[in-house]
Amino acid sequence: LLMIVTIDGVAASGKSSVSSGVAQALGVPYVSSGLLYRAATLLGLEASLDLHAAPGLLTLLGAHPVRLEPLAGGNRVWQGERELTDDLHSSRVDRGVSVVAALPEVREWVDAQLRALPEPFVAEGRDMGTNVFPHASHKFYLTASARIRAERRARERPEDVPAIEAALQRRDELDTVQSAPAPDALVIDTGPLDLQGVIDTILTRLP
């Protein structure tokens, strides 16, 4: 069946693991929009660009096109022959990405790539159900307290829980504008659930 499922939510709410699980159960790819914002940030940092200035970033992205490869098991990001995927989750990129994601020109660059993808798929991010795919057939929004999210993320980052929690809260604030749940999204508090519990909550609502 042709459809788009959107899974939005706050930073480190488990969106990519949940989306991957839902996508694999449905036998469709999932699309991680955050990776494109992260790729723009990484390339801007590597080129020592001012991350607040869209023209330089857009020139860079136009000259060296970035490609998102949506797979059910995990997304990969390429710039030509170079794979960027493993460099996208550093704390340096974490710190810079919200500034880059606040630039309307960068959001248009991401949105155009996402809207060009063939259906069906599961799309994960902040504004998939609101701005990018408002016509999606099924929409979900994941939340959890900052402490729970920091404890989960501490397993993937070298910093300790309080430092990660502070960084997450800072990113939540910077991302507030594009992070509102769609009015027709089901909001799921993932705090009391494990990964499979969240996946199952979503799958029971899909045809």
Binding interface with ligand C5P (CB under 6 A): 11, 15, 33-34, 37-38, 97-98, 101, 125-128, 171, 175, 178
Q: Closer to ligand C5P by CB, 14 or 28: give it.
A: 14
Instruction: Supply the minimum distance, in Å, between the C-beta of residue 31 and ligand C5P.
Output: 10
Least distance in Å: CB of 180 to ligand C5P? 12
Sign of CA pseudo-dihedral 149, 120, 135, 112: positive
Residue number with CB closer to ligand C5P (40 or 49): 40
- Check: CB of residue 78 under 8 Å from CB of residue 67: yes
Burial 117-126, CB ≥16 within 10 A → b, else e? eeebbbbbbb
Compute the least distance from the CB of residue 101 to ligand C5P, in Å.
3
Closest CB to ligand C5P among residues 127, 165: 127
The nearer residue to ligand C5P, 11 or 164, going by C-beta atoms, is 11
Taking the complex as a whole, the smallest distance from the CB of residue 177 to ligand C5P amounts, in Å, to: 9
- Residue 9 C-beta: closest distance to ligand C5P, Å: 8
Do the beta carbons of residue 68 and residue 31 sit within 8 Å? Answer: yes
Residue number with CB closer to ligand C5P (11 or 204): 11
Residue 146 near residue 13 (C-beta atoms within 8 A)? no
Smallest distance, Å, CB 200 to ligand C5P?
Answer: 22
In the block, tokens 């900052």 appear at 146
Nearer to ligand C5P, 25 or 180 (CB): 180
